[in-house]
């Protein structure tokens, strides 16, 4: 038998080789770009990662999440105290009466509030807060069955509102009583002053 030469010339072979390798290089470039786009910040762990959704199942994340949510539960417990026990907020205490909502990334300051935690209570019972809790739990975990741990129910807000109204009425009644007492006291003082002045005048005339 004779020798059989390939019909491929070096030029054709190089073109074929380029076409064969090119899709792989494109795939690598796409993978690199997709990895870059997947990098995100976990505000629970306070770090950047490219693990995707599986990050929330890592032991370190679960530990950080537990501590993260416990801190918020403690803050919410303080707010719930004022739901059960409404307290009038004095103007000098307004700026100190504040709470940070980790689900909404919002600083709630009670400037202009009549009662302690007035704005916080309404915020934690709002539909926007509920929506943000669901988004947080879906992204970071744990399960959706703990939603009520991080919000205030409409029923509790309704009871709180009635207590606040009762306090307003009591304060209004107390103000009327104190004003009446002050009026009677001032009238008594003016009468005594008038009597004392008359006596002094009478003594001066006789002298």
Mean pLDDT of the chain: 78
CB within 8 Å of 67: residues ≥ 6 apart: none
CB within 8 Å of 132: residues ≥ 6 apart: 103, 104
- Quote the pLDDT of residue 1: 53
Identify the residue whose tokens are 């009038």: 88
- Quote the pLDDT of residue 189: 43
- ∠ CA 158-130-43, nearest 5°, is 135
CA distance 22 to 9: 20
Percent share of the chain, pLDDT over 90 = 55
Phi-psi region of 112 (alpha: psi -120 to 50; beta: other; left: phi over 0): left
pLDDT tens-digit readout, 43-69: 999 999 998 888 999 999 999 999 999
């Amino acid at each position: 038998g004779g020798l059989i030469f390939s019909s491929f010339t070096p030029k054709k072979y190089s073109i074929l080789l380029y076409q064969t390798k090119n899709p792989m290089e494109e795939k690598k470039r796409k993978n690199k770009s997709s990895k870059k786009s997947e990098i995100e910040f976990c505000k629970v762990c306070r770090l950047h990662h490219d693990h995707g959704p599986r990050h929330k199942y890592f032991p370190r994340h679960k530990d950080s999440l537990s501590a993260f949510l416990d801190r918020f539960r403690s803050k919410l417990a303080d707010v719930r105290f004022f739901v059960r026990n409404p307290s009038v907020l004095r103007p000098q205490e307004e700026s100190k009466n504040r709470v940070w909502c980790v689900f909404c990334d919002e600083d709630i300051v009670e400037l202009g509030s009549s009662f302690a935690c007035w704005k916080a209570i309404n915020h934690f019972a709002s539909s926007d807060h509920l929506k943000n809790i669901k988004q947080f739990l879906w992204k970071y975990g744990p399960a959706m069955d703990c939603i009520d741990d991080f919000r205030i129910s409409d029923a509790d807000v309704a009871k709180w509102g009635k207590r606040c109204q009762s306090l307003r009425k009591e304060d209004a009644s107390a103000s009327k009583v104190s004003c009446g007492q002050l009026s009677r006291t001032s009238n008594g003082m003016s009468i005594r002053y008038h009597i004392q002045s008359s006596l002094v005048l009478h003594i001066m005339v006789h002298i």
